[in-house]
Amino acid sequence: MRKLKLQIQLSIDGFIAGPNGEMDWMIWNWDDKLKDFVTQLTESTDTIVLGRKLAEGFIPYWRSNKELEGAEKINNSKKIVFTKTLESSNWENTILEKGDLTDKIQELKSLTGNNMIAYGGGAFVSSLIKENLIDEYYFFINPSILGDGMPIFEKTDYKKELKLEEAKAYECGITVLKYTN
């Protein structure tokens, strides 16, 4: 059975963006070891799962920055965008999914293929967490405290215990925490 992995950058206090969507606190000047880690993480995947809000910036960004490390993998991977509003997509390798999130993710997990990776905004990731759809969490903790912002645990209405599998600090200041259910 395929796994759904979540890769997401967080502040120390658990936000993925500031109160107005600010992302200027994130470290993007990653050291080579972190870049290698991300390459290994994404090499085991063949499908990217996104919410509509993130997809509208994510897909065009990677399509127009083909020289960036990882761009070829992202551009060539199948992308499934969960949306209630988009009627069509001009993005290559992209499917718009309007069905039930839980049913569709469970269906995707049962298909033959490599693992899947999720990127997303707060509401989309919160829904994945609430519905217990994520198998592996990769939290990229940035050395920043925001005090307020966009959380990813806002829809979780039950206690959830995760198992820490790995914790690694990188020279650039990011610590990656890998958790499983």
CA R_g for the chain: 16
If you average pLDDT over residues 124-140, what whole number do you get?
96
Look at the block and give the residue holding tokens 């969490």: 137
Q: pLDDT band at residue 79, thresholds of 50, 70 and 90?
A: very high
Write the CB contacts of 85 (distance below 8 Å, at least 6 apart in sequence): 52
Report the pLDDT value the prediction gives residue 46, as an integer from 0 to 100. 96
| Residue 157 pLDDT > 80 | no
Write the CB contacts of 157 (distance below 8 Å, at least 6 apart in sequence): 130
Q: pLDDT band at residue 117, thresholds of 50, 70 and 90?
A: very high
Beta strands in 24-181 (DSSP E): 45-51, 78-82, 94-97, 115-118, 136-142, 150-151, 163-169, 175-180
Number of helices (H) and strands (E), helices first, in the chain? 5, 10
Could you read off the pLDDT of 42-78 as tens digits, one per residue?
A: 999 999 999 998 888 888 888 888 888 888 999 999 9
Write the CB contacts of 1 (distance below 8 Å, at least 6 apart in sequence): 109, 110
If you average pLDDT over residues 23-36, what whole number do you get?
94
| Residue 120 pLDDT > 90 | no
More confident residue, 38 or 67: 38
Domains of the chain, CATH where assigned: 4-8+29-180 (3.40.430.10)
Under the phi-then-psi rule, with left for phi > 0, alpha for psi from -120 to 50, and beta for the rest, what region is 49? beta
